[in-house]
Chain A
Amino acid sequence: MASTDADYAVWLRGIEKRFPGVIACAGADLRVRPGTIHALLGENGAGKTTMVSVLSGVYRPDGGEVWVNGQRRFFQSPADAIAAGVGMVYQEFRLVPTLTVAENIVLGAAPGLLRSAEIEERVAELSAAYGMAADPTRPVWQLSMGERQRVEILKALWRNASVLVMDEPTAVLTPGEAAELGLTLKAMAEDGRSIIYISHKLDQVVAFCDEATVLRQGKTVATVDNLDDVDLSSLAEMMVGSSGGGYVQRPPALEAGPEVLALQGISALNDRGLPALADINMTVHSGEIVGIVGVSGNGQKELAEVVTGLRRPSQGRVTFKEQDVTEASPADRYRLGLAYVPEDRIGVGLAPKMSVVDNAVVRSYRSQRRGLMLVMAKCVQFCQDLVERFGVRAGRLHDPVAGLSGGNLQRLLLGRELAEQPAVLVAAQPTRGLDVQGVAAIQSHLADQRADGVGILLISEDLDELLALSDRLLVMFEGRVVAEYGPDVTPRTVIGEAMAGQVRA
């Protein structure tokens, strides 16, 4: 093949990158033509983020070549990549909350002397040129996630990036914002810029993108030059390989048990002191999975926190097994039989630097003590049982949990919460970011617990998961429950509209 490197905006060739104990990329390729939107697909851990981190100068590859706009590059730092025209929008935004929109946009590419008025005017011109509304004088902490993403894109445009990398750009957006983003990206591509679009939301990939590269286990397994030629299911197959990717079978319907959890007229504020929940009424019965669906940021997090006692409601009552627990501490609620798998596995759920054993007993240590002392042998035994029962591949039990993969962290966390037979389990995004096996394992545990009579409040952004598992599905929008659907199959479009606040009568 003749060298056509000059034809590509980006050519990552045979990229290798190893981390201690993990091979993130094992000779992966990525070729992007100028003026196209290129989807980079793959499951979690397939090496997508590592590839683009090499392109943006954050990681230095252990092997392979980086070509940008026909020139071979050896990036030592993000500054080098920026200078070569690569702009990156990270999944977790790289913005300084206390600085203004304008300050964030010019950071790293500002004139020596800052004249706020002048910079703000130029930023306003830039955002108008691409039809992205953003008030340059507002501090970033006041912005919504969609607005923050616009600031990130403007940051790249301010540096006149010819290649824009977007890592999971729609994960934090409402459906409307996602559609708007698609238009912005199309406009940028028409300008001759190239966009690398990382996602596993296949419907969006097909809607926005021109071409695609599929990664699996650190290698490129497929390249698609024209996305119009393939359908969704074949893309999905390429991503997961032969391992399948279905959800667990819907468990058979059960006779609903007694009510175990009830919320009456619950309102609460978020961390910024703004209303997050408004007059929520709901119940969970024994042996029932109640699914909560909504675009992230519509009160799901605050709902979980109010139920588990981490957030005090401003109004309303929480009843647990017919007992008022509105004022009860999280520890009291745990003792009454309330288990919690939080959204933040690391940090809220598990302490990363503590060992597997310490994390395993941190809830139930009272049963492993003698007098004032913890009995180490009992702790280890408890942890050993848990690791075996829930199939945690944990290596050594006295090593920090930070070394475990996402799926094993979640098995450990779920196992710990279920160890003392709770009556209610609150699970927030329990399968997010896990690989296929991990998802299947967690989902079947949830189904088993339901069969054992546990009442489960399942908060998820994965509609397929909720449709497969839930006995009832509640839709949250702007802090309210706007719709409830029974176990009968409801069209996804109807639920989607409810998630956007449009409820059909």
Chain B
Amino acid sequence: MSEAALIGLFVATVQFGTLVFLAALGELIAERAGVLNLGVEGMMTMGAVSGFMVGLETGSPWAAFFAAAAVGSLVGGFHALVSVVLGADQVVSGLALTIGGLGLAAYVGRNVVGERPETQFTDLGIAGLADIPWIGEIFFDQPPVVYLTVLLGLAVWFVLARTRLGLAIRAVGESAPTTDTAGHSVMALRSVAVMVGGAFAGAAGSFLSLYMAPGWTEGMVAGRGWIAVALVIFGAWRPGRLALGALLFGFTLALQPRLQTFDIEVLGLDVSSISPALLGILPFVLTVVVLVIISWRHRHRPSVAPAALGLPYRREER
């Protein structure tokens, strides 16, 4: 296989990694606050269609990107209203978001199918670094969203670990009554976390429709939202591990369409004969394996998952 194909594989790994990392980072914020949002796929799809349409209308990829974030946050806001404010089952509400989001996106985008945007994000050749062989092309000649996502990852880590707000979010994900009686508003913390998470998912969706596969087609998110949900578990709800997992999952996603063009053998097995569908389930298999390992390692101490994940809270219940 050629060097160009291999570099292409790693360039795509970084981009797919960015896609699932951004969406998973949003889900991580919501889950650390104790809200499970299974609507990531729907929020990404809504972000993809709205970002693409705003891009067509304005010609500005940044306007499109932020519009998609706003739409994602709005869809997340619906989940917050139903599950946090009204206390409905988070699983049901989240699944409704995915199913409803896919349908609504198909309706909203019915007239733009097949259109091409005039402008899109251009790759930032970072001066000096982009010229390094291999590394330069893979890491330092990517669209700005990639670098923005890295910064967001650092920001999320910092906020969670080093600020009063982050402490409150971590606490409310472990025990809502504790956080309430400590004087924080459970409802506000969780709603904001879900809406910020939605914005991340919406933005991630637009990265797909504006850059990675410019255009809009129904179902174009193609399960990457679910991979993001799995990635949060794989990353054990920690931003750093999430980033590592994103690169691994990004690699499997990048490998999938390329697999059958590879003419190499691994351990006597012709790689091109592996079904891409089989590769597609790898992230989920890995997630289950990791989940078993971390549950086992934590058998004598509190679970890694936020203890209040999925539990609604009402103050005056008794």
Q: A residues within 8 Å of B by Cβ?
A: 19, 56, 58-60, 77-79, 82-83, 88, 90, 94-99, 103, 106-115, 141, 155, 271-273
Contact = CB atoms under 8 A, between A and B. Distances in A.
Contacts of B302: 97-98, 141
Given A19-B318, A99-B170, A108-B168, A272 B182 contact: no
A59 B254 CA distance: 54
Given A97-B307, A155-B182, 10 more contacts: A78-B180, A94-B182, A96-B171, A99-B171, A107-B171, A107-B184, A108-B183, A109-B183, A112-B165, A272-B301
Nearest to B162: A114
Nearest to A111: B164
A274 to B, nearest CB: 8
A211 to B, nearest CB: 26
Nearest to A24: B318
Nearest to B306: A98
The interface centre, meaning the residue of B163, B179, B182, B316 with most chain A CB atoms within 10 A of its CB, is B182
Contacts of A109: 182-183
Contacts of A273: 299-300
B113 to A, nearest CB: 47
Nearest to A119: B167
B183 A79 contact: yes
Contact of B307 (A79, A83, A98, A271): A98
B161 to A, nearest CB: 8
A410 B50 CA distance: 58
A107 B318 contact: no
A326 B300 CA distance: 23
Nearest to A20: B318
A109 B299 CA distance: 32
8 contacts: A58-B180, A58-B316, A82-B183, A83-B183, A107-B171, A109-B182, A113-B162, A155-B182
Given A99-B171, A141-B301, A77 B185 contact: yes
Contacts of B181: 56, 58, 78, 88, 90, 94
A108 B167 CA distance: 9
B177 interface: yes
B313 to A, nearest CB: 12
Contacts of A112: 163-165
A25 to B, nearest CB: 13
B180 A107 contact: no
B31 interface: no
B174 interface: yes
Contact of A114 (B167, B177, B301, B315): B167
Interface string B141-179: 000000000000000000001111111101100110111
Contacts of A96: 170-171, 174-175, 178-179
B316 A108 contact: no
A188 B82 CA distance: 45
A56 B181 CA distance: 8
